Amino acid sequence: MSTYSRLPVTFERGEGAWLWDTRGNKYLDALSGIAVCGLGHAHPAVSAALCEQAGRLIHTSNLYGVALQERLADALTEVAGMDRVFFCNSGAESVEAAIKLARLYGHQRQIAQPAIIVAEKSFHGRTMATLSATGNRKVQAGFEPLVQGFIRVPYNDVEALHAVARNSPQVVAVLVEPIQGEGGINIPADDYLQHIRELCDRHGWLMMLDEIQTGMGRTGRWFAYQHHALYPDVIAVAKGLANGVPIGACLARGAAADVYQPGNHGSTFGGNPLACSAALAVVSTMRTERLTERAASLGQRLLDGLRATLAGCELVADVRGRGLMLGIELTRPSTHLPAIGLERGILFSVQSEKVIRLLPPLIISDAEADEIVSRIGALVREEAARAA
């Protein structure tokens, strides 16, 4: 079905931060499959884990114990500071699990019509519940009636949250991204998440974070909330979890960890041995190679480099980022730029029509980071000159 507007290229192999198309052309991947391939392409640890596990056992069912799933749950709860995990296949499914958890949490507290506060410009997925939670009309258009039970507020607006708290006794949770990715790399004020934590504690709400894009080291910590002195109640994780092998996870702690009981939720493929073997290889490699710290330092190198090379460029409104999640906001719509980037051998995306989004692999070298700065800087300056 025609659900994607694809660029005119087909890739046949990859290595590290580089991809080769079917004609032998080479591309620097500054998008990593939209924050999925954090270890780059064809990482030997992931490849070895998959080959070994594929020859041993791929799937049994969640009707039975899954040893690798238990090991992965232990590893994730340790790095996230959470208590329990539900495994699924994607980011949308992990957010869906969080939404259902919040509703069940509300009903257990005798709230007949539980509501979840969500943010404008957010993106939480394309299933009916997650697109209903998403704060982007383009994602929702044509799919009405939407799932009810979401109260939308402006992102990074604490007073708006207080106003909902004063007037909406049916609220049971707040669901936000620590940094909005699809919305244009929107980084909230340093105390925004802390205010949400305080409101949730005061009203008995669950604090739920969509870390689909920000998790697994992307921002320089295992999870973006770890830049702040708090713990959420629920975290949705996916993209970088298994470096391209489909898997998602919904993590919970405290009272939220005890909401689900057998029969409340499930997933046929979620957390099967093959996906868990890849995810365990990712976690192990990230620890061994200290890739969260590497993402922090590389991100600063990229941020400094981009700001320096684009200083004074009239087309650039802002350059921002945290770790290896960076955005260059332009002064006019520029959705044509990824196609030009493709011709120049570099992959990236444009969000919100005018924000160049960079999500390179966590394993890139200093030289590759500098190459991204050089190629993106040249492309933006040429675009500025064309418009002058």
Q: Which residues are catalytic, by number?
A: 123, 210, 239
Residue 241 CB partners (closer than 8 Å, separation 6+) = 215, 216, 247, 248, 249, 279, 282
Pairing status of strand 115-119 against strand 84-88? unpaired
Short-list 283, 317, 324, 282, CA closest to 302: 324
CB 82 within 8 A of CB 91: no
Please state whether 290 falls in left (phi above 0), alpha (psi between -120 and 50) or beta.
left
CB 172 within 8 A of CB 116: yes
Residue 117, strand partner residues:
151, 174
CB 249 within 8 A of CB 280: no
Cis previous bond, 333, omega within 30? no
- Compute the C-alpha angle 86/321/197, nearest 5°: 50
Residue 181, strand partner residues:
none
CB 25 within 8 A of CB 345: yes
CB 110 within 8 A of CB 167: no
Short-list 275, 247, 190, CA closest to 224: 190
Beta strands in the chain (DSSP E): 11-15, 18-21, 26-29, 84-88, 115-119, 150-153, 171-176, 206-210, 234-237, 248-252, 316-322, 325-330, 346-347, 349-351, 355-358
Q: Which two tokens stand for residue 191?
A: 């105390």
Q: Using CA atoms, how far apart are residues 238 and 248, in angstroms rounded to an integer?
A: 4
What is the rounded radius of gyration, in angstroms, for the C-alpha atoms of the chain? Answer: 21
